[in-house]
Amino acid sequence: MYCRETDLKRADAELLMIGYGNSLRTDDGAGPAVVQRLSNLLPSQYSGSVEVMSCLQLTPELAAHMASFRRVVFIDASVAIPPGRIAIHRMECEESGSQLGHYFTPGILLTIAASVFGASPQAWTAAVGCQSADIGDQLTPTVIAAVERLARHLFRCVIGLIDTGVFSPEMFEGSNVAVGSE
């Protein structure tokens, strides 16, 4: 029989924000760009409770890392919303599906964190509508502006979390419609 481990991680840090995408495909790099901006905005004294990280794609070992946090935000570029728009949604585990290559979705990572590592962080997706995914290492002006707005919004949410213990990123630009535009 296979052995069960007892060293499951406990969530002891407040917030993990993961920006992912390919920074060599123009606006697909919006997620890492938001993280880069956040890392400049966040004061160093938050480093023990808030972590930002960027990666090219989501990989399964991220689930192990997520298990140390109470909350996770996945920041990505999207072609499903208009360029420059921002959509923030609360998300849940993915409970089914049969297809898998080497690419993992936020929902699968949440499922792995819960089933394999015994952790159930609250999670959100924050998407930036992209205008171009052509080859290039510069964001388009529309997305640069959206990246700045989203980074500042998430920064304010972090301040709120530290000050009040409340984290509500989906309350964006005075609305809970979860969509912001220029």
Partner 1 sequence: MPQTITIDGVTRIEGHAKITIQLDDAGRVYDAQFHVTQFRGFEKFVQGRPLTEMPGIMARICGICPVSHLMAAAKACDDILAVQIPPTAEKLRRIMNLAQMIQSHALSFFHLSSPDLLFGMDGDPKQRNIFGLIRDHPDFARDGIMLRKFGQDIIAKLGGKKIHPAWVVPGGVSAPLTEELQDSILKEIPSAIERIDRALDYFHQIEGRYPAEEDAFANFPTLFAGLVTADGLLEHYHGPLKFVDQDASLVAELNPADQRHYGSLIGEAVEKYSYLKFPYFKPRGYPDGIYRVGPLARLIVAERCGTRRADMELGAFRTRLGRSPQSSFHYHWARLIEILYGIEMIQRLLQFPDILNTHIRARARPNRLEGVGVSEAPRGTLIHHYKIDDNGLIQWANLIIATGHNNLAMNRGVRQVAERFVDGNKLQEGMLNRVEAVIRCFDPCLSCSTHALGQMPLRIELCKADGEVCDVLQRD
- Which residues make up the interface to partner 1 (CB under 8 A)? 2-5, 20-22, 24-25, 28, 55-57, 59-61, 63-64, 94-103, 108, 111-112, 115-117, 133
Q: How far apart are CA 28 and CA 33, in angstroms?
A: 10
Locate the DSSP E strands across the chain. 13-20, 50-55, 69-78, 86-91, 122-129, 179-180
Q: What is the C-alpha end-to-end distance of the chain, expressed in Å? A: 57
Complex with partner 1: residue 79 or 171, whichever CB lies closer: 79
Question: Is residue 108 within 8 Å of 98, Cβ to Cβ?
Answer: no
Identity of the residue, 13 or 171, whose beta carbon is nearer to partner 1 in the bound complex: 13
CB of 73: closest distance to partner 1 in angstroms? 19
Measured from the CB atom, is 24 or 145 closer to partner 1?
24
Q: Which is nearer to partner 1, 9 or 152 (CB)?
A: 9
DSSP β-ladder status, 86-91 and 179-180:
antiparallel
The CB-of-135 to partner 1 minimum distance in angstroms stands at 10
Residue 21 CB, nearest approach to partner 1 (Å) = 7
Residue 37: strand, helix, or coil: helix
Fill in the DSSP letter of residue 172: B
Write down the least CB distance from residue 64 to partner 1, Å.
6
